[in-house]
Each structure stands twice: as C-alpha cells, then as structure tokens.
Structure 1
C-alpha cells in the first residue's frame, strides 16, 4: 500500500511540475518583441511582435515596421518552449515558430525557410 501511495504522489508531483513549467513558458512570451526576419526575397525585414494573455491563452499580432500593417494571429499553440503562430499575410497564411533563447532573446523561423531573431522590448 505504501508503494502505491508513493507512486501516486510521485505522478501527482510530476503533473504539477509540468503545469508550472507550461505557465512559465506562456508568460515568457508575453510582451513586445523587436524581430529581424532574415533572407526574405525583398530583403531583411523588421517587425514588432506582440503577445498577451487573454483568458489564460496566448494571443497577439505581428506588425511590419515598414508599412505598419498589423496582422493578428489566427492560431497560437505552445509546446514546451516553442510557440507556433499562424497569421494571414497578403502572400497567404504564414507559420512562425518561436523558441526561447534566453531571458530577453528568442529565435525562430517563418514557413520553415526564413530565420528570425527577436529581442524583448523594454517598456519604460
């Protein structure tokens, strides 16, 4: 009986640890990020990425800094330390994967072709 109790307690502890880690990853992305998307056909592009938590879920948008076009995310999913977002662009639907690099930097790819880097924007 002690073994069953111990195993149950261990499994419960693992479950809570996983939930806490998922919440940390969600809140990591919240805020504004300056992105540099490299190697696009029209050259490197700068964009502003914005994440917020709404009803416990990540949402947000990406804004092209050149033409100030805001494109809200149509889908956001978080798995481990990777956020995958989808948004509509004039060229079609775009998939973007973002990975936590350190406290204020992220890396990723757009459509599995174009690399990007991001730096957390410091708000005053």
Structure 2
C-alpha cells in the first residue's frame, strides 16, 4: 500500500512539473523577435516576429522588414522548447520552427530548409 501511495504521488508530481515547464516555454516566446532567415533565393531576409498570449494560447504574426506586410500565424504548436508556426505567404503556406537557445536568442528553420536566427527585441 505504501508503494502504491508513493507511485501515485510521484505521478502527480511529474504531471504538475510538466505543466509548469510547458507554461514557462509558452511565455518564453511572448514578445517581439528580430529574425534573420538565411539563404533564401532572394537573399538573406530580416523579419519581425510577434508572439502574444490570447485566452491562454500562443498566437502571433511575422512581417518582412522590407515590405512591412504583416502575416498572421494560421497555426501555432508548442512542444517542449520548440514552437512551430504556419502562415500564408505569396508563395504558399510556410512552416517555421523556432527553438529556444537561451534567454534572448533562438534558432530555427523555414520549411525545413532555410536556417534562421533570432534575437529578442528589447522594448523601448
């Protein structure tokens, strides 16, 4: 009986710890990020990515710094320290994955072929 009680307590503790970790990762991405996408056919491209929490869910958009066109994310999936977003671009649907690197930096890929780096934009 003691072992069963210990096992039950351990499982509850693990579920609680997992929920806390997911919440930390969710809030990590909130804010503005300066992104550099490398190796695109038209050359390296700078963009601004914005994340916010709406009704407890992560949402946001991306804007190319050259033309300032804001493209909202059509899908946002967070798993561990990686967020995968989808958005519509003139060339079709684009998938971008962003991986937490440290407190103010991230890395990732666009359509699993173009590397990107990002730096958290400090608010003025």
Output the TM-score relative to the length of structure 2.
0.99
Equivalent position of 2:2 in the other structure: 2
Structure 1 segments (4+ residues) deviating >3 Å: none
RMSD: 0.4
Distance 1:49 1:110 in 2: 13
Equivalent position of 1:93 in the other structure: 93
CA deviation map 1:76-117 (0-9, x unaligned): 000111000000000000000000000000000000010000
Equivalent position of 2:33 in the other structure: 33
Output the TM-score relative to the length of structure 1.
0.99
Distance 2:9 2:122 in 1: 41
SS of corresponding position for 2:40 = coil
Distance 1:39 1:73 in 2: 22
Q: How many residues align?
A: 124
Q: Which runs of 5+ in 1 are unaligned?
A: none
Distance 1:77 1:57 in 2: 10
